[in-house]
Amino acid sequence: MLQGSIDINDELLADTAFELDQRALDKVRTFISTLAENEATCALQYRNHVFRFTDVDQVRRSLERLSKDNLHEDEQLLKGEFQGVLPKRRTFEFKITGSDQIIIGKITPAIEGVDLINKHLHHQVEIRTMVTQVGDGRPRYLLLDLPHWND
């Protein structure tokens, strides 16, 4: 995620941020804010991967890109129909009611029995999602729980 915060590509940041727990994201923001306030940089290493802020300006840019004004996360209820689910990949397609728009999203690891969705394809349902968008980039959808079907 830190790499995405210093890159100019909004898609990279969105891809890493959208599955991250809100509390973890807030902790990262707090850490980077502390670095910026103290005009400090840091380097982190995990196994063979190393991340490094090269200067304080890069820390400030990272903080700006991770700000709530740039990285938006909102819980949304969506009405429509599941078109399909890939249980192993934990991805879904969902057609929004009243439009031809089909969104593609991921399913939170907390949900068990994901393959149950495939038994309710093309049934009208309301789902609860977390929508993450960086700047004007493409929104990412995360299914937060299994919906309740009326059958």
DSSP string, 97-117: TTSS-EEEEEE-TT---GGGG
- Per cent of the chain over pLDDT 70 is 99
**How sure is the predictor about 126, in pLDDT bands with cuts at 50, 70 and 90?**
very high
Query: Does the pLDDT at position 151 exceed 80?
Result: no
- CATH numbers and ranges of domains, the chain: 2-67 (no CATH), 72-143 (2.40.50.140)
pTM: 0.81
